[in-house]
Structure 1
Amino acid sequence: MYAKPTCPTPLKILLIVVIAVELVAIGLLLAGRAGASEGGAAAGSSADSAAAAAPIANDAASQGADGNAAASDPATAPEPVTLTVTFAGDCTLGTDINYENERSFNSRWQAEEGDATYFLRNVADLFGSDDLTVVNMEGALTEGGERADKKFAFRGKPEYAKILSSASVEAATLANNHSQDYGQTGYDDTIAALDAEGVQSFGYDRIAYLDVKGVKVALIGSYFPED
């Protein structure tokens, strides 16, 4: 019978150890290659993402810079507007029928031969240099109406409205205790007389809106009786 050759035990052990070492080395080598491949792919993906995000970030930064520049650019910022407004007191353009005619407003109008500039000439330059002049128009500018039952009721001719326009008065409040001295007719005639001279009236439920140097101005007038 053929006898099967045998390998000494120490040699078997040595061969097993060598084979095991080689297998471990091969496994480590393959694992290293796989890790390097995945790392490269991940690095590439990260770089691509960063590259894709960079333009967005740059655009945002650019837009932010442009926005800040626009906001801080004096050329695009609105210019501040300053308004000079003059508020004057009572303007009673007329008289009470019980006054002595030679000492009345009407007699002075006649003496000045209808020169409307006479009455406010001392403040005309002041009114003309501001942006808006507002007065309190006392009395009615009318040829009609019925006198109110009161101690003093003032009435003047509608042409007296030129006194205000000739002195650069732009608006007049009618919210006072004499604007209706001659009833609703006198009140309406006063509004018409002022409108004809370009003087805006307001008061009570009537609000005047004006454009003053590009600024919208609302004028509101109220009257509170003593009682």
Structure 2
Amino acid sequence: MLQLSNVNTFYGPSQVLHEVSLEVQKGEIVCLLGANAAGKTTTMKTIFGLVRPRGGSILFDGKPIERRLTGDIVASGLALVPEARRIFPRMSVLENLEMGAYTRKSRAELSQDLEHVCDIFPRLRERLKQAAGTMSGGEQQMLAMARALMSHPRMICMDEPSMGLSPIMVETVFETVQRIRNEGVTVFLVEQNASMALKLADRGYVLQTGKIVLSDTAANLLTNDLVRQAYLGGA
């Protein structure tokens, strides 16, 4: 469904991604693991056209998107839950959700989707008129995920969804990721919480200094010595 082939991304003269290749099949949860500054967020930005690659290709459903506008990429069925949530703090919860649906046309479908995301995140239903910036970090993460779902995506990309959350809220977030996949949405997950991500995912990739150094099933990565030493606290 999503395929990156030999992607090279730069910030000015500095190369951040080096020949990155990965793929996500329809119906999968695939995670991308890596330490701070490994290039995970740059990978997401490159997929969504926020940074243009200088080499390589990015295909979504077999069609190239590396030169398309971000809005067109979202309209094609690919949604982003950005790092640090990036909600609109002065807007209400409902207005944030409506912003997620800016590419949609049918008002009837929007009403159905609003009802659906409120079923997934009941706390948001109670706060639709509340300013989004006054909610807790966990509630804001729920809103960021719900906002992405309002675009009615076929695939959703999540950048560090567990960052800064309490252990209980982290469990809630990952349970929601599983539910989203079970409802037919493919998931590409960038995470530092390697243990939780690998227990949830089907497959995973490990990114170090902008290069993919490992790729395997999630079960195999959980027992891989390099992954255990670097991300799971193994001996």
* TM-score of the superposed pair, with normalisation by structure 1: 0.30
Higher-RCO chain (CA-CA 8 Å, sequence separation at least 6)? 2
Q: Tell which structure's C-alpha radius of gyration is larger.
A: 1
Higher strand share: 2
